[in-house]
Amino acid sequence: MEVPNDGLVQVASLTDTQDGGKKRRFDKWWILVFFVIFLIIYLASTKSDPYWRIILFVQDGIWVSITTTIISFLLVLVVGLIVGLGRLSKNRIINGISTVYVEVIRGIPLLVQLLFWYFAFPSVIQNIGKALNIEALKNYLANPVGMAILGLTFCYAAYMAEIYRAGIQSIPKGQMEAARSLGMSHFQAMRYIILPQAVRVILPPVGNEFISLLKDSSLVSVVAVADMTRRGREFMAANFIPVETWSMVALLYLTMTLFSARVVTFIEHKTRLEK
C-alpha cells in the first residue's frame, strides 16, 4: 500500500518542528551570570565588609567603561569594514595601504598605542601648530576619553578588518557572479548579497572581539580615564584593602563579560534559525 506524499510532508514538517523545538532550550550559562550577580549582591549586603562602599565608589567608572567600549566598538565595526574591503580591493594602492595598516597596528601592543595617542599625538599636533603658526593647534590638549576611544578603535579595527575579509572570502564566488548576472553593480552585490551572508559567518568572532574590547578597556586607566579599573585603584590606595577591592572589580567585569557573551550567543541562535 502506497503512502500519500502529503503524509510524508506532514511527518517531515512535524519532525522539523520537533527538532527546532529541541534547539530552543534555555541557555544554562545564564545560571553562571545570575550566580555572579547574586554573589555581588550578597557581598554588598554584608555590612561588616566594604564591598558596598567599593561599588558606590566605582559606579561612575562602570559607566565610563561601558560607554567607552560601546562607542569604540561601533567605530571599530565601521573602520574595520572599510579596511577589510580595502584589503580585498584590486586597486594596488588601496590594498597596499590597508595591508600596511593591518600589519603595523597588529604588531604594536594596545597599551603602547594608548600611550602614544595620549602623550605623543598631542605633541605632534602642537608642533604642527607651531610650524603653521595656528594658535588652536599650538594650545591643543588631549581629551583622555577621546584619545582612549581613538586608540581602541585604531587597534581593534585592524583585527576586525581581517574578520571582515575572511567572512567575505568565505562566501562562494558564484554568489557575486549570480548577482552581477542579474544586473547588479559590484556595490549593490556587496551590499545586498555578499555582506548579509558574511555577517552571519563572522558573528561569533565579532562577538569575541566585543568581549575582548570590554576587557581591554581597563587599559585606558593608564591614560587618565576614570574607568572602573582606575577608580578601583584609587579606592585601594585610600583604604589599603587590595583583596576586597580587586575581588569586587573582577566580579563586576565578569558580570559584564558573561552577560555580553550570552547576548552574543542569543543573537547567533536567532540568526541561525533564520537560515
Q: Give alpha helix (H) positions in 89-172.
A: 92-106, 110-115, 121-132, 135-138, 144-169
How many domains are there within the chain? 1
Length reported for the chain: 275
Q: Name the nearest CA neighbour of 140 among 157, 153, 123.
A: 123
Question: What's the rounded mean pLDDT across residues 241-255?
Answer: 94
**DSSP label at residue 3:** P
Residue 195 lies in a domain: yes
Residue 233 lies in a domain: yes
CATH code of the domain in which 224 resides: 1.10.3720.10
As to burial, measured by CB atoms within 10 angstroms (0-12 exposed, 13-18 middle, 19+ buried), residue 73 is: buried
CB atoms under 10 Å from CB of 184, counted, come to 16
As to burial, measured by CB atoms within 10 angstroms (0-12 exposed, 13-18 middle, 19+ buried), residue 249 is: buried
Q: Choose between 20 and 165: higher pLDDT.
A: 165
The boundaries of the domain holding residue 68 are 51-273
Residue 56 lies in a domain: yes
Model confidence, pTM: 0.86
Question: What's the rounded mean pLDDT across residues 3-28?
Answer: 49
Torsional class of 143: left (φ above 0), alpha (ψ -120 to 50), beta (otherwise): beta
Residue 264 lies in a domain: yes
Question: Average model confidence (pLDDT) for the chain?
Answer: 87
Question: What's the rounded mean pLDDT across residues 113-131?
Answer: 93
Judged against a pLDDT cut of 50, whether residue 173 lies above it is answered with: yes
pLDDT in tens, 37-88: 999 999 888 766 799 999 999 999 999 999 999 999 999 999 999 999 999 9
Distance in angstroms (rounded) separating the CA atoms of residues 195 and 206: 14
Please report the pLDDT score of residue 177 as a whole number: 86
Residue 44 lies in a domain: no
Helix (H) or strand (E) holding 254: helix 242-273
Lowest mean pLDDT among 35-49, 149-163, 164-178: 35-49
CB atoms under 10 Å from CB of 139, counted, come to 10
**DSSP label at residue 47:** T
Residue 36 lies in a domain: no
Torsional class of 55: left (φ above 0), alpha (ψ -120 to 50), beta (otherwise): alpha
Residue 38 lies in a domain: no
Residue 212 lies in a domain: yes
